[in-house]
Every structure is written in structure tokens, then in C-alpha cells.
Amino acid sequence: MRKMLTIISTVLRGNAGKNGARAVVAARTYADFTQQATFDIKKCDVHKLEEGPPLTSTLTREDGLKYYRTMQTMRRMELKADQLYKQKIIRGFCHLYDGQEACAVGIEAGINLTDHLITAYRAHGYTLTRGGTVREIMAELTGRRGGIAKGKGGSMHMYAKNFYGGNGIVGAQVPLGAGVALACKYQEKNELCVCLYGDGAANQGQIFETYNMASLWKLPCIFICENNKYGMGTSVERAAASTDYYKRGDFIPGLRVDGMDVLCVKEATKFAADFCRSGKGPILMELQTYRYHGHSMSDPGVSYRTREEIQEVRSKSDPISMLKDRMLNNNMASVEELKEIDIEVRKEIEDAAQFATTDPEPPLEDLCNHIFYNEPPMDVRGTNPWSKLKSMS
């Protein structure tokens, strides 16, 4: 035991230069793992701010494993959805999030579950971080009654507590998010709203209308542009006269963040959250990230970008690999442990996929339900005048 400790501390001291990590070796650890380490993170470009988020981030072993597990779950879930879509078990729209995991996980790490979040249609990852289970998400994709929206919403319309979807109309979620922030301020609960949109949506007029009102009324809103470099098949250079999305808020302070690094996203989100909670009004974050899949399942994703580009990002900037390397290189976890997590995640996804393919579809009686809330049962006209269907609240 003592011999192992000596070896480890020698190795660690030797590794002190690598990765710029300063390791703190705790005296009493069950498996001799480093409980906590501080990492250098990329500096954020700032707009109308005196200073940005810190240049280092401290990660505990517990958090590291949690982020790893969540990102891996997200990754495998999206890949399973890809599979099921190709088998025609999922139909319609399916916009996959793999490659962008660090954004969803990093953001959630910087806020509380009591805060609010809204995003566009690439929403499976956020549904997970906001409290949805893989089972519910996959069953919603396959349109079954066990889905998070009972099969009535599909890929783009998933909801959870303090998570307002899942929105299909590009840009419409931004005013909605500011409205949620208005409610937060009105109800004085010190909560905020994270309001996400993509680089494609960033040119929408209603977003600028929202910037104006959020700033005027000092709404506690973190606007986040997930810049994955392509709005469907249009690269940012071809869509935006100014691709400095973090500056597009003009009078709203902005940050440009490395969206492939979960720690960078976390620190930036914490910084932004503190800014909002102090009553200074909205703030804007641009997360520079990348999606491995095409825009949606009907897009192979290679007509407007090269396979080499995708491969390069995968090998050099993959968010899960980045976290894994950091943890392994600083003895925060073992290869076996992470493999163990991978196996558990795979099993969870398999179970969920099994559920999603075997759960029955919603009953026909549910067709006309949920038109109105808190309303006595009413009749809804069917496809012909003799067809009177029942609608429950």
C-alpha cells in the first residue's frame, strides 16, 4: 500500500508539467485516486465585459465521473437513435446531438435544476440533463405511450420540469425563454432562464427583438448560441455578415466559449449565471461546438463539409475523449472504471431501446386529449360529420 502511494506520488510529481495540472493528493482515499484537480481552460473572448470567466477550473473526481457518464449516455443514446431511425423505427424529424455533449452537460453544471432552460429542436441532450430518462426519451422518439410526451410530441417536443422543450420553429424559443426569465424576475425566486439557439437561428429578427426587451427590462436570461458552424447545410460564413455571434447582442455583454470542453462551458455558465443573478440583466454566450451527424437524419452531412473536417474534430476535440484523458492523466479514474461506466451506459441504452421498441403506441382514445387544460370533457369532430371523438383535459 505504502509502496503504491510512493510510486503514485513520484509519477504525479513527474507529471506535474503535463496538462498543466496541479494535482492534490488526498491522504485517505479508498482507491488511491486523486479527488480533485485543477485544469487550465481556454480563455474566453469577451464583449463589453471587464473580465471573463476564470482561466482554471477545479474538477472533483465525483463530478468528473458524473459528467463522463452523462456525456457517454448522451452519445450512446444519440447513436442508438441513429440506428433505430435507419431501421425506420423512428420516423419524421430526428436531429442528433453527438459531438455537442459538452454544451448540455457543462451548462447544467453551471446552473441549478430550479433554474429554467429552453432550446430548439436538437433537444435530446437537454431533455436528459433536465431530468428526462433515456427510456422516456427513446420511447418518445419511437412514438410510444411511455414517451416523455406520451408519444404526442416526438423528437422536437419533449418537456420536463423547468424545461420548456423542444421547439420546432427556428428562433421562436428565444422570446419564449425571455418570457420565462420575465416570470423568474416577477416571481422573485432568484431563478434564471438559459435560452439556447443555433448559429442558423442567430440571424432571426425575433431574437434581436428579444435582446432589446431583455436588456431594457434587465431580465435574468442567459442567451446561448450553440455555434456548430452550420445552419442545416449553410456554413456560418455564408449565412451571417458577422460570425462573431457573441457580439451580436450589441449592448448585451458576451462571451465566446470553447464548447468542446465541458469545464470551459461550466465555468462560463457559472460566470454568466452570477452575472444574471446579480441583477445586471441578460448576458450572451457563444459556444463553439460541432455536430458529427448531419443537420438531421435525412442529411448525410457531407455535401457541405468534408469528411476530413469531421474526422479531425473527432480525433482532436471530442468532448468525451478530452474529459477522459484529463481524468486518466491525473489519476482521477482508472481505465477499468471508465470501461465499467461504458458498459453500464450501453446496458441502459439497450434496455431503453428495448422498451422503446416494445412499448405499445398510444391508445386511439388519446387522439383528442390534451387540447385544453382544466376543462370538462368535450367533443371533437373527427374526419367526417358522424365521427364525434372525446377529448379529455
Partner 1 sequence: MAALRCFLRSGKNAVAAGLRREIHQTAPASLQVTVRDALNQAMDEELERDDRVFLLGEEVAQYDGAYKVSRGLWKKYGDKRIIDTPITEMGFAGIAVGSAMAGLRPICEFMTFNFSMQAIDQVINSAAKTYYMSAGLQSVPIVFRGPNGASAGVAAQHSQCFAAWYGHCPGLKVVSPWNSEDARGLLKSAIRDDNPVVFLENELMYGVPFELSEEAQSKDFTVPIGKAKIERQGNHITLVSHSRMVGHCLDAAAVLAKEGIECEVINLRTIRPMDIETIEASVIKTNHLVTVEGGWPQFGVGAEICARIMEGPAFNYLDAPAVRVTGVDIPMPYAKILEDHSVPQIKDIMFSVKKTLNVPLRVKYRGHILLCHCVLCCSVSQ
Interface with partner 1 (CB under 8 A):
116, 118, 149-153, 157, 159-160, 164-165, 167-169, 172, 174-184, 186-187, 193, 205-206, 209-210, 212-213, 216-217, 366, 369-375, 378, 380, 385, 393
CB of 210 to partner 1, least distance (A): 5
CA–CA separation, 388 vs 384, rounded Å?
Answer: 8
CB of 388 to partner 1, least distance (A): 11
Which residue, 15 or 212, has its beta carbon nearer to partner 1?
A: 212
CB of 248 to partner 1, least distance (A): 15
CA–CA separation, 38 vs 19, rounded Å?
Answer: 10
Which residue, 152 or 314, has its beta carbon nearer to partner 1?
A: 152
Which residue, 39 or 121, has its beta carbon nearer to partner 1?
A: 121
Which residue, 44 or 195, has its beta carbon nearer to partner 1?
A: 195
Which residue, 248 or 291, has its beta carbon nearer to partner 1?
A: 248
Which residue, 41 or 178, has its beta carbon nearer to partner 1?
A: 178
Which residue, 150 or 248, has its beta carbon nearer to partner 1?
A: 150
Is 49 within 8 Å of 274 (Cβ atoms)? no
Which residue(s) pair with 122 in the sheet?
none
Is 301 within 8 Å of 82 (Cβ atoms)? no
Which residue, 34 or 129, has its beta carbon nearer to partner 1?
A: 129
Those residues with Cβ within 8 angstroms of residue 352's Cβ, 6 or more apart along the chain or in another chain: 77, 80, 133, 134, 135, 137, 138, 139
CB of 213 to partner 1, least distance (A): 6
Residue 224: enclosing H or E segment and its boundaries? strand 221-227
CA–CA separation, 153 vs 155, rounded Å?
Answer: 7
CB of 276 to partner 1, least distance (A): 15
CA–CA separation, 352 vs 390, rounded Å?
Answer: 32
CB of 336 to partner 1, least distance (A): 40
CA–CA separation, 316 vs 260, rounded Å?
Answer: 10
Residue 371: strand, helix, or coil:
coil
CA distances to 46, 150, 259, 278, 300 from 58, in Å: 22, 40, 17, 23, 38
CB of 153 to partner 1, least distance (A): 5
CB of 86 to partner 1, least distance (A): 25
Rounded to 5 degrees, φ, ψ at 13 are -60, -40
Rounded to 5 degrees, φ, ψ at 258 are -75, 100
CA–CA separation, 144 vs 269, rounded Å?
Answer: 35
Length of the chain: 393
Those residues with Cβ within 8 angstroms of residue 127's Cβ, 6 or more apart along the chain or in another chain: 137, 148, 158, 160, 163, 166
Sequence letter at residue 73: T
CB of 176 to partner 1, least distance (A): 4
